[in-house]
Amino acid sequence: MAVGIFDSGLGGLTVLDAVSRRLPEIPFVYYGDNAHAPYGVRDADDVYELTTRGVERLWKAGCDLVILACNTASAAALRRMQESWVPADKRVLGVFVPLIEALTERQWGDNSPPREVAIKHVALFATPATVASRAFQRELAFRAIGVDVEAQACGGVVDAIEEGDMILAEALVRSHVDALKRKMPDPQAAVLGCTHYPLMEEVFQDALGPQVKVFSQADIVAESLADYLQRHPDMRGPGEEAMYLTTGDPKRVSDRATQFLRRRVEFISA
């Protein structure tokens, strides 16, 4: 029954928390590649190699379905993986598409031509690698027309969160929002295009103002996964044990994860 959740570090815990609440009967195996975080400053080939290595480990743990709860991996590696690497009996899904479906108010699997949507001006906050990939704009163009996207690469935010320096993370978020607003003064919506960023969602909202609708991924991905598993129950893998795996130092990662989730989490070496 197990499903895998992959992330470059701790940000994917926001997704894990949401999917665990939505699907409490499913054992989830989490893989954090903390030894190589952050991915947002790496090139596409490097991200691909690290992501495939982590996904293979999750397959070994009995997870036939793996969610890339990492926007950088979803942007830089997922399409290449799906086209030439993932075997027929496995699935690897990303976090961009559910977010874009929510933004454009389209149902899962709606393959109709792109159309006009209510939101015309979107601010995208993401890692440098995600911004450089333009994957968000590409996926959005499949579903909507006439949407202006202004992307802001949020350097340093993931590093600060991973180090537990939330004061620095807040200062960086506010600086990046100011930079975005100089390019797009009045966004209608903001997309938090990194699974670390929900930990700073209140700061993003405060800096943007109450008139901006902030789209955060965790709950959106949880609903999408529940829908997917209802339609594809065969993709529940044979694994039966929930686990937290890390390529980093298990004690240090466990302590950081416990701070984030406000409950004790024990990681083991991947």
- Name the residues annotated as catalytic: 70, 194
**What is the Cα gyration radius of the chain?**
17
User: Measured between alpha carbons, how far is 20 from 222 in angstroms, rounded to an integer?
Assistant: 8
What's the rounded Cα separation, in Å, for the pair 230 and 232? 6
Residue indicated by tokens 């293979």:
56
Q: Which of 12, 164, 60, 92 is closest to 20 using CA atoms?
A: 12
Q: Which residues partner with 200 through β-bridges? A: none
Judging by beta carbons within 10 Å of its beta carbon (0-12, 13-18, 19+), is residue 33 exposed, middle or buried? buried
CA 1 to CA 104: how far, in whole Å? 32
Give the Cα separation of 202 and 266 in Å (integer): 27
